[in-house]
Amino acid sequence: MSRVVSIYLPDLAIERLKRSDDGARLSPDLPLAIIARSGSKRWIRALDSRARQAGLAVGMPAVKAQAIIRDLQMVDADPGADVAAVERIALWALTQYSPVVAVDAPDGIIMDTEGADHLQGGEELMLSGIINRFHGRGLTARVAIADSWGAAHALARTSKRDIVRVPDGETGRFVERLPIASLRLNPDLVGSLHTLGFQTIGALLATPRAPLALRFGPEIGRRLDQMYGRIPEPIDPIRPAELIEVSRAFAEPIGAAETIAKYVARLVADLCNALDKKGLGVRRADLIVHKVDNTIQAIRAGTAKPSRDATWLTKLFKDRIEKIEPGFGIERLSLAAIMSEPLAEAQKSSSLVEEEVIDIAPLIDIIGNRGQRVYRVMAVASDVPERSVRRTSVATAAAGASWTLHWPRPVRLLDRPEQIEVIALLPDHPPVVITWRGKRRRVRRADGPERIFGEWWTRSAEFDAVRDYFVVEDDGGERFWIFRSGDGVDVATGSHKWFMHGIFA
């Protein structure tokens, strides 16, 4: 069963406008509204937070809005620019999250993440990552995942939460109380249903289908069946103009694993030839399986560095062919290079000249395509421990930087220092007893302090800040890295609280 993600961007028109040249000329202190028009009619299409707080609402006539807020800034809507912005976001999502991404006009995108979410660490990490990345770019977003396009679309637009996750097979429990407007029906049809007393999807579902179809046609039944996953609603994936893609259609549907593997190998060879003509190597490739029942399944494979090694790429896809569910048969296979980079031919080293460097990229590819996150840890010039390392792509070349340390460092550094309770003499004596995570430990040996000063050139708040670090060993032989925030005398240097920061082997 497919898992569909809907990303709703409620304020995209406002946020796009503020980033444009026209937005730079607007006053940030005055409320803003985007106005749509049809003939002589003008109404509000989008609002910023100031306008909402003043009592305006989407759909309100522009004349009424001006009467409520005299200094309201009004800008004509630009639907073309809004659609282009959504398309850019969809193309970005195509490279990041799923092989099957489409625009869900006018203010969202839709993705089928079945077979791709494991590359993000699972559904929960994928959804939280989507929200964090959108918020980090200053975009308001709400995300929902469900078994169908209709359910995910409705929940993303009606829920007040940033993330809604519907477990497999539980669509009915989540959508039965939603308003019928979330069924993606014509507004006139929704108004007619409201006149008859229908308010929720559950009430509509409990009504016999035949009288509704006789009066309103088949659209209501079709939308209900799509929401509950009874009939498929295929997603037509967006494709960039420069995409390199090869495909094969079959006169008779195929379904046997051996047959699929044979044609996948041929597609990979065709793709590598196309890449070779352009001097490119693939970093991320998608196999799209088109079935006879009008549904799509996709498999994504990635590489740590650009490649057009047909044998290796074929192996990456063949390792996951068992995930394909052919159903009634497959009528077409497509293979697309979603991400590609320049790749020049390289001369292999000879043992008579120099020792050949062992390439670990294949191992990284196998681990990464199994859903494990692979990254390189690089040194950063900083005395503050949590700032002295950063994660980079495994394909990033080593920068040559290293740590210059005169004191030992723990093998494990906690994500965040955890506060502990101590018994210690001040200012320079190590603790004699520490209590961490509810366990009391007596200190047998200790070394320190190692004083680390704040980086005043990065933040003025760190001008006086210091930490005093100690290596302590408890009576069980375990060694820890702890510190006191401050010098123990001047309150301007820190809170003088103690923290656990690392654990030695």
- Residues 39-82: tens digit of each pLDDT: 889 999 999 989 999 999 988 999 999 999 989 999 999 999 99
Average pLDDT, the chain: 88
Q: What is the pTM of this model?
A: 0.72
At 121, phi and psi to the nearest 5? 90, 15
Greatest mean pLDDT among 115-124, 305-314, 433-442: 433-442
The side-by-side arrangement of strands in the sheet containing 41-47 is: 41-47, 32-38, 73-76
Q: How would DSSP label each residue in 97-120?
A: T-SEEEE-TTSEEEEE-TTTGGGG
Q: Which of 251, 275, 276 is nearest to 263 (CA)?
A: 251
For residue 361, pLDDT beyond 70? no
Report the alpha-carbon distance of residue 86 to residue 91 in Å, rounded: 9
- Residue range 344-369: mean pLDDT, rounded: 62
**DSSP SS3 for 423:** strand
The number of C-alpha atoms within 13 Å of 363 and in the hemisphere containing its C-beta is 5
The number of C-alpha atoms within 13 Å of 212 and in the hemisphere containing its C-beta is 20
pLDDT (tens digit per residue) in 446-500: 998 999 998 888 788 888 899 999 999 999 999 999 999 998 888 889 999 999 9
Strand partners, 418: 500
Report the alpha-carbon distance of residue 164 to residue 245 in Å, rounded: 34
pLDDT band at 101 (very low <50, low <70, confident <90, very high): very high
Q: What is the pLDDT of residue 363?
A: 65
For residue 368, pLDDT beyond 80? no
For the CA atoms of 23, 27, 33, 36, the dihedral, rounded to the nearest 10 degrees, stands at -40
**CA dihedral for 229, 232, 236, 237, sign (positive or negative):** positive
3-state secondary structure 64-84: HHHHHCCCCEEEECCHHHHHH
Report the alpha-carbon distance of residue 8 to residue 136 in Å, rounded: 16
The number of C-alpha atoms within 13 Å of 211 and in the hemisphere containing its C-beta is 7
Task: Give the tokens for residue 58.
Answer: 């989407």
For residue 96, pLDDT beyond 70? yes
Q: Would residue 198 be called left, alpha or beta, if left means φ above 0 and alpha means ψ between -120 and 50 degrees?
A: beta
Task: Give the tokens for residue 307.
Answer: 């490649």
For residue 371, pLDDT beyond 80? no
Q: Which of 248, 256, 202 is nearest to 224 (CA)?
A: 202
For residue 385, pLDDT beyond 90? no
- Residue range 299-311: mean pLDDT, rounded: 87
Strand partners, 61: 43
Describe the crossing of helices 219-227 and 149-158 by its angle, rounded to 10 degrees.
90
Q: Which of 497, 503, 450 is nearest to 474 (CA)?
A: 503
Residue type present at position 137:
R
Q: What is the pLDDT of residue 350?
A: 58
CB 420, CB 485: distance < 8 Å? no
The conformation of residue 349, written as its DSSP 8-state character, comes to P
CB 285, CB 235: distance < 8 Å? no
Report the alpha-carbon distance of residue 418 to residue 290 in Å, rounded: 52
pLDDT band at 382 (very low <50, low <70, confident <90, very high): confident
Report the alpha-carbon distance of residue 118 to residue 103 in Å, rounded: 23
CB 211, CB 183: distance < 8 Å? no
Task: Give the tokens for residue 238.
Answer: 């967006």
pLDDT band at 157 (very low <50, low <70, confident <90, very high): very high
Q: Burial, 220: exposed, middle or buried (Cβ in 10 Å; 0-12, 13-18, 19+)?
A: buried
For residue 28, pLDDT beyond 90? no
Within 8 A by CB and 6+ apart from 318, the residues are 261, 264, 265
For residue 226, the tally of other CB atoms under 10 A from its CB is 19
For residue 416, pLDDT beyond 80? yes
Report the alpha-carbon distance of residue 211 to residue 381 in Å, rounded: 73
CB 477, CB 467: distance < 8 Å? no
**CA dihedral for 172, 173, 177, 178, sign (positive or negative):** negative
**DSSP SS3 for 237:** coil
CB 446, CB 470: distance < 8 Å? yes
Tell which wins on pLDDT, 364 or 232: 232
